[in-house]
Chain A
């Protein structure tokens, strides 16, 4: 198990180095940072001084090494646009995105899993067919369209919920949370539904497909033959067997949501990382873009590693001593 963890961490580190390299290349390809940081009246001496200060005279590899070393400490330099530390900017925005994503993920699991189980059990009923049809709509509906529709209905027409922003937030240490104030919670409702809809349908369809598969297995038939009641068969034996793919997909989707929450964030003017990134692109704010790339990749890689480790907890066959495969104890 330890060797497995080490292997996973080593490969994760490899992926991160590659991503950092790509992020680093952005600096080189998008032009001379000195030109962007100084105005046109700057003298050659000023330019040279800045060039020296930024370490641009070092060799390519040394610059990359320094970039990686700083990034590992959470230092991504200074934003071109507003001259603030990039890490401070991201630190301010990240909690907003993460809260939105986690609430959306929780929604998708709480709604998606039971619906998936139920549509698998009663797969011929009208209700199941309706849910199944609705889920196709959910998969195909673009989130900006849904977001705008929700704003129109609940904010403009009905006036129940705020159309934009995060509401009041409370700072707990470095973390600013909107979950502790009622305006913060209300502001979270529409964006999280917008973000969650696709996930709900994804989880639902996944659980349904896995359940249908599982319900055909011999161990379910044998559980029936043992006379166990339906709720145990469906929710203990059946669902447990579906958890692996659900964990995999959820893990990867959390990464996706963080990376692609930017559409929802733009629609709802949500002050998260996505908004920060969109602004950075508009102003060619390369340090912010590079930092965003590295952080999002880090989240992806970290989640995937955690998912791999979680497998062992869900499936005992994967934590057998020695090999990862099943080892048969002689009887």
Chain B
């Protein structure tokens, strides 16, 4: 039982790390520009597809992964230039309309280019094995590598945000955009940078997850909504909050699906427990989010700002 718990805990952490990679860029876009971007999940999907395409062309995992970064960065920059830049000063509703349209456009483009069938990406041989976990259980190296990579990204993000000039402007921008702008910082260029970097991180997440999950046109949708949950639980604009909330959501979701029915079985008869478990497990993260917002309306690490 303990081994199973450990295994699921690692799976949850790995899922949480992925959520964090997607959420990190989005929470800054949300926080600094007060901008609702529904198209962020699509960038995650684009990352997966670019990875699959590069793997098909080169056959080399590391080369493909290295190519994904500039390409998703470019996609982010193009989108920012063509669409997002014109929407900063508009209402949330116009932003929803435009980015919802972008979701449709980009998902359909992906369908036209690569078809609707899921694509798979081969795992690099170095990371294909598994290592012994407690007892007879083994854990795939690749998933551990994903966790390690995510932690490294989180650490470097923390460094950029807490220790550099750009990071200082970001923190200031999240707190009071107008003031930063009045003090002479080019807030629009800053946002372009944040947006492109966020797109790159989301694309990177899509690329590294592609050997574990398959790449399909619907992959962006599911992660988008969970990313919103992460951002709101963590507090809009807070990367630290996003990190904690992503791990929390990843672990709660994974453990809930596994252990929810087991715990319920101690309280009611097995058939009812199975049904109730199936019903409650996917709702858990949303219940968590509603509960967090009930007690802390601005999220765990968010500042209560009057908007």
Please say whether chains A and B are actual partners in one complex. no
List residues of B whose CB falls within 8 A of some A CB: none
